[in-house]
Structure 1
């Protein structure tokens, strides 16, 4: 089944690559089509010269769709078409000469603009490759299965063209069991990314070193107290699944996780005592408390950031995450999060206005394969 699934995925990707090239080819041919349309209008109208200056639209448009060589070809075509039509109309030499001069000037200017655009695109591609490398270093990919859990993650940055933002997540196996964190940094932009990197770096070290989950939280708190400003903080849920087989949760001012039973019931895991976000403990004097929950086979835990629950539609209504989970939950976390993410984007009209992260883990039996056909695949 996994081999069949991978084969279908490969076919889908190859089809996408073939179809993705078709719009690009159409854009390259669009300037030629513009020149042809202007020429046809000139022939159909029978006018002596009024339509010919519009041939400059061809090389001007080519500056945004073609490279310098393509602009030169379209400009040459426009000049040849203008001369041919002017001769056909038996226009005075001075008039077609003026049109040709204008076409040459537009072609040269468009070629320079195209060269600058190509150069900027190359620089942007290099910057994007660096951003993707930073994303993989900061938000490292999470395996589909970690220990006794199936895991799925969905992350969307609100900033246009961005891959990373102020939300953070990590899940890793340690000598003390599986440990994970989902958090939200106050603010946006590069400062938020810097703080997220700091939190994740400390968490990855502390998760391996500290035998107690509260010790992990304390390490993060101390680091943030030294490095953050007075008004900066991070809300987070730190969770663990030690060898004893129960679920541990420490909530630091974050939205409560959703516990989904094997029967499909959804309940919010509210903290037994409110605790301040990370970085603000010194101001409040309150320490977070460890919660222990039973986590049976088939149970699931959903951690998320407020970019999900505070997403609004055109009527300013919040996205009902609990209801969405109840509608889409199944025994394959990746399918559940895909359905939730699609519904969330539909709710907001296609684009989120805040970073949003979703992390879902499901406890499977010891003999359950890492991937098995499920009821979620009925639509596949």
Structure 2
């Protein structure tokens, strides 16, 4: 890349020296350090700037032997020095900013690994894959969440979405995930687990400084229990988009018969939780997701037709399925989502005898 500004300086010197006296191309030398600053650091930019000053001096010597370094050439040399110095300062500040951004990304990635721990590829008789798509280009985590926990008789999973954005939503997501991981294997029934999670969110909102958020902050979530020895799913849906099961090319939407209010509204709604049970057989693919998927819009404003799209796919492995879904979803929205999206794909495998 550095050959481009050097070639430019050589061309300017040769053409300026050979051109008629009334044509001056010396001011074009300033483009050389400007081009260099677009891809190089301060040292290389400063070197090219110094070479541009030398090139201007050569032009002055070869063109005006009778009047070396006239006022015009002196002004151009001073301008090159000022512009070159400014570009070097710009490169220094840019590199400092890049180092800060790298550190921020590292912290964000570490926070993501701590809050959204990677799901195991296999857990019990299940094969899993997960995906998190952030709406912001530099963001690594937001208010969407998912987790899995092993119990003595099966596997429990949660996928949810915190109302709002920013660091507050990240904190609420971390709180719920911590409560789920602590209690998923301790609470005897799914109903008791969901009641505990709702209480955890409500208690957090009751802390000092959080009371003004009561009734305004809540978390939609779908919590499922998949027994090892039975081909079924037990689910409590707390205001979340319903999961889907893909079976033999057909999609079944797991609409809750007994929907519950979002977590965090228990003190206001006084919910009575009930289980919804659905079939989940060997070879089926279960998809849990957040509303960032189904509310993704294309250029015409049309929502992403999730159920319609996935019926056309033949992938049964969760990793391949989510890879296809990610590509198709981003193609639909033109490469950038308007909201965070989290997905879990689960395949039931034959139980070893």
Q: Tell me the TM-score normalized by structure 2.
A: 0.90
2:239 alignment partner, one of 248, 253, 273: 253
User: Does 2:309 correspond to 1:296?
Assistant: no
Q: What residue in structure 1 maps to residue 27 of structure 2? A: 53
Q: What residue in structure 2 maps to residue 335 of structure 1? A: 320
User: Does 2:125 correspond to 1:151?
Assistant: no
User: Does 2:194 correspond to 1:217?
Assistant: yes
**Offset, 1:266:** 0.4
Q: Are the structure 2 counterparts of residues 179 and 35 from structure 1 closer, same or farther at C-alpha, using a change threshold of 3 Å?
A: farther
**Offset, 1:84:** 1.7
Of 54-63 and 35-44, more deviation after overlay is shown by: 35-44
Q: Are the structure 2 counterparts of residues 114 and 29 from structure 1 closer, same or farther at C-alpha, using a change threshold of 3 Å?
A: farther
Question: 1:203-245, CA deviations, whole angstroms, 9 ceiling, x for partnerless residues?
Answer: 1001121121112111110011111322000000011113442
Tell whether the 8 Å contact from 1:257 to 1:301 is kept in structure 2 after alignment: yes
Residue-pair matches, total: 341
Q: Distance in 2 between matches of 1:44 and 1:215?
A: 89
**Offset, 1:342:** 0.7
Q: Distance in 1 between matches of 2:36 and 2:251?
A: 55
Where in structure 2 are there 5+ consecutive unaligned residues? Answer: 206-212
2:43 alignment partner, one of 65, 69, 85: 69
**Offset, 1:177:** 1.9
1:240 is paired with a residue of what secondary structure?
strand
User: Does 2:175 correspond to 1:198?
Assistant: yes
Q: What residue in structure 2 maps to residue 357 of structure 1? A: 342
User: Does 2:61 correspond to 1:87?
Assistant: yes
Greater Rg over alpha carbons, structure: 2
Q: What residue in structure 2 maps to residue 21 of structure 1? A: none
1:160 is paired with a residue of what secondary structure?
coil
Question: 1:89-120, CA deviations, whole angstroms, 9 ceiling, x for partnerless residues?
Answer: 22742222222222122222221221121111
1:90-105 correspondence runs (5 A): 90=64, 92=67, 93-94=69-70, 95-105=72-82
**Offset, 1:170:** 0.9
1:319 alignment partner, one of 301, 304, 308: 304
Q: Are the structure 2 counterparts of residues 335 and 68 from structure 1 closer, same or farther at C-alpha, using a change threshold of 3 Å?
A: same
Q: Tell me the TM-score normalized by structure 1.
A: 0.84
**Offset, 1:173:** 1.9
Where in structure 1 are there 5+ consecutive unaligned residues? Answer: 1-25, 369-380
CA-atom RMSD, angstroms?
2.1
Greater helix share, 1 or 2? 1
Q: Distance in 1 between matches of 2:302 and 2:174?
A: 32
